[in-house]
């Protein structure tokens, strides 16, 4: 987003700050649940947030992606936004496939505790020429919420998301769902999981507030 703004507008690049959509420390679960996969040895991915089957070419039309994940015999659990809960296509999708699970909408604090029982958080979106630029510059809130809940993030190579996950070693990026199964067996996954657990309190508003204060002091000082 910073690079996009600097390229498009006449701004002073020395007077900027990248402050992500960090999660509040008050929302970080104090305890993590036991992962369901420890009991049934089946990998479980969770997606939280917006879904749609109504908006044409939306990057939030995730139906085909969810089907592809289910075809790998990997469970996909979804907790949707309030307005997304009105889209019954995703409920039907879950009814048709035993690997897709629809949990509706939850209050955020309860939601973030609930998802600690899964293995990974999903942040791969529907990419087409219409929304590619947006996906390349955006880093959604859910990425930081997954990390706060101890979940490594899985995503497609959307530019900013890919850069963040690789820089901080908190997730895996692949070009298609077909690559996912083999990558999840990669030995580096365990180091990523450990690093995510160590980073749960790192990417919070409170943990980065000093950077914002220093920025305002710098701007104020001229």
Q: Classify domain 27-221 at the CATH topology level.
A: Rossmann fold (3.40.50)
Element (H, E) at 6: helix 2-8
What pLDDT was estimated at residue 128?
84
Instruction: Count CB neighbours of 53 within 10 A.
Output: 17
Compute φ and ψ for 210, nearest 5 degrees: -60, -35
Q: What is the pLDDT of residue 17?
A: 87
By the 8 A CB rule, do 77 and 101 touch?
A: yes
Q: What does pTM read for this prediction?
A: 0.94
Instruction: Provide the b/e sequence for 173-207 (b: ≥16 CB within 10 Å).
Output: bbeebeebeeebeeeeeeebbebbeebbebbbbee
Q: Which pLDDT score, from 0 to 100, does residue 126 have? A: 95
Amino acid 219: pLDDT: 86
Looking at the DSSP bridge assignments, the partners of residue 102 are: 78
Q: For the chain, which residues score pLDDT lower than 50?
A: none
| Predicted local confidence at residue 18, as pLDDT | 87
Give the per-residue pLDDT at 205. 96
């Amino acid at each position: 987003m910073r690079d996009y703004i600097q390229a498009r507008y006449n701004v002073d690049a020395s007077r900027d700050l990248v402050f992500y959509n960090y999660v509040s420390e008050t929302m970080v679960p104090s305890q993590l649940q036991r992962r369901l996969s420890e009991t049934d040895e089946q990998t479980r991915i969770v997606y939280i947030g917006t879904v749609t089957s109504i908006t044409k070419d939306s990057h939030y039309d995730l139906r085909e992606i969810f089907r592809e994940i289910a075809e790998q015999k990997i469970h996909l659990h979804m907790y949707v936004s309030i307005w997304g809960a009105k889209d019954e296509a995703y409920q039907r999708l879950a009814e048709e496939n035993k690997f897709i699970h629809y949990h509706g909408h939850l209050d955020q604090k309860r939601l973030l505790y609930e998802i600690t029982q899964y293995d990974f958080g999903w942040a791969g979106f529907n990419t087409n020429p219409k929304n590619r630029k947006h996906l390349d510059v955006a880093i959604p809130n859910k990425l930081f919420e997954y990390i706060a809940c101890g979940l490594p993030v899985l995503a497609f190579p959307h530019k900013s998301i890919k850069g963040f996950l690789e820089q901080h070693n908190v997730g895996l990026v692949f070009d298609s769902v077909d690559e996912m199964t083999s990558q999840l067996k990669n030995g580096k996954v365990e180091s990523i999981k450990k690093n995510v657990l160590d980073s749960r309190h790192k990417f919070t508003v409170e943990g980065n507030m000093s950077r914002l204060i220093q920025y305002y002091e710098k701007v104020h000082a001229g």
